[in-house]
């Protein structure tokens, strides 16, 4: 029997990695799948929402033209003690590209989730203004200003429902497709950091004091011989140091290429961001085990996560397309 082509799509929270959903959605449609509903959390609520509103192509065009200078112009920094940015400029900019609509008037069922900061309640948006739902769902704690909504003060939905399987509309014969960008490659990180630590401990570079000590071991009354000794010892020390540095640079370069974390790079934002990502990874992992989607696409949360990565939408989108293609090949095979 031919498999259904209807898809109930679930998109997790996950910062700029969520731009992978653009390419993933396009891959689904290019293969003849019919997305009949979408539920999203945080960045998933944004991409899923503009898709449900029929504005994905316009949003994509705007996003792919977003460079670092334009990105910085969207960061409305706040003097508040509880959040870094108001979050109004970016929403206003997107609304110029994708006009606001009522959720109940979207072409497919859509749901977004946010979290009540004080009660911990899950607040689900199935009606009302689309961008009110999106703005609430993307309110990353301490980064964006929380949203006042009735009696609620809302923050990012990832705090309670990272991959919102529980709120996506099902039509009875669709397949459940999920994209979670919060996978953690724990073993790879541990192996990588262990290798770097071993290289640091085995660092046999020669310092100036050791070089002088080696030179002093050679006794000669000939100035020419002394100059030759100094030259030979210096060249050997230089080559030894260069080899050690090359080994460390190679290991560090591979780690950077694989987007592995470095303790020495820790700062206020990276610690806060990684802490939140670890929480998202735990919640989404449990949800995936519980709901067992028919098609699951995942991306490591170490892949992208800095503020600057929001200007790399096209690159991230293409990764999402590739990952969705691989997952569908497996499902269809």
Contact assessment for residue 112 and residue 137, using Cβ atoms and an 8 Å cutoff: yes
Question: Does the active-site annotation cover 156?
Answer: yes
Contact assessment for residue 287 and residue 171, using Cβ atoms and an 8 Å cutoff: no
Q: Name the nearest CA neighbour of 303 among 292, 284, 291, 317.
A: 317
Catalytic residue of the set 13, 37, 42, 277 = 42
The length of the chain, given as a count of residues? 333
Dist. CA 242–CA 298, nearest whole Å:
39
State the SS3 of 238-280.
Answer: HHHHHHHHHHHHHHHHHHHHCCCCCHHHCCHHHHHHHHHHHHH
b/e 82-91 (16+ beta carbons within 10 angstroms → b): ebbbebeebb
* DSSP type of residue 42: T
DSSP-assigned beta bridge partners for residue 116:
154
Q: Looking only at Cα atoms, what is the longest distance across the chain? A: 95
What is the bridge-based pairing of β-strands 175-183 and 110-116? unpaired
Contact assessment for residue 93 and residue 130, using Cβ atoms and an 8 Å cutoff: no
Question: Does the active-site annotation cover 294?
Answer: no
b/e 52-68 (16+ beta carbons within 10 angstroms → b): bbebbebbbebbbebee
Q: Name the nearest CA neighbour of 179 among 72, 48, 303, 90.
A: 48
Catalytic residue of the set 13, 37, 116, 156 = 156
Rounded to whole angstroms, what are the CA distances from 109 to 10, 44, 127, 168?
12, 15, 10, 8
Active-site residues: which are they? Answer: 42, 156
């Amino acid at each position: 029997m031919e498999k259904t082509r209807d898809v109930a799509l679930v998109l997790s929270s996950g910062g700029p990695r969520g731009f992978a959903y653009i390419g993933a959605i396009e891959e689904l449609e290019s293969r003849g799948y019919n997305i009949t509903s979408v539920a999203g959390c945080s960045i998933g609520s944004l991409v899923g929402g503009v898709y449900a509103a029929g504005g994905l192509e316009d949003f994509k065009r705007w996003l792919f033209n977003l460079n670092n200078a334009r990105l910085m112009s969207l960061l409305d920094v706040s003097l508040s003690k509880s959040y870094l940015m108001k979050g109004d400029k970016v929403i206003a900019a997107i609304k110029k590209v994708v006009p606001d609509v009522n959720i109940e008037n979207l072409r497919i069922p859509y749901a977004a989730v946010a979290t009540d900061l004080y009660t911990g309640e899950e607040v689900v948006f199935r009606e009302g203004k689309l961008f009110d739902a999106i703005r609430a769902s993307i309110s990353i704690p301490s980064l964006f200003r929380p949203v006042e909504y009735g009696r609620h003060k809302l923050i990012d939905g990832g705090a309670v429902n990272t991959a919102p399987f529980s709120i996506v509309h099902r039509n009875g014969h669709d397949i459940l497709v999920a994209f979670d960008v919060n996978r953690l490659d724990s073993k790879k990180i541990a192996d990588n950091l262990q290798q770097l630590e071993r290289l640091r401990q085995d660092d046999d570079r020669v310092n100036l004091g050791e070089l002088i000590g080696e030179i002093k071991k050679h006794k000669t009354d000939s100035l020419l011989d002394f100059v030759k000794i100094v030259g030979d010892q210096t060249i050997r020390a230089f080559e030894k140091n260069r080899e050690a540095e090359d080994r460390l640079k190679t290991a560090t370069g591979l780690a950077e290429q694989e987007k592995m974390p470095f303790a020495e790079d820790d700062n206020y934002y990276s610690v806060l961001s990684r802490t939140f990502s670890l929480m998202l990874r735990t919640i989404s992992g449990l949800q995936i085990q519980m709901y067992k989607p028919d098609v699951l696409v995942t991306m490591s949360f170490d892949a992208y996560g800095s503020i600057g990565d929001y200007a790399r939408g096209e690159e991230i989108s293409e990764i999402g397309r590739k990952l969705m293609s691989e997952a569908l090949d497996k499902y269809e095979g």
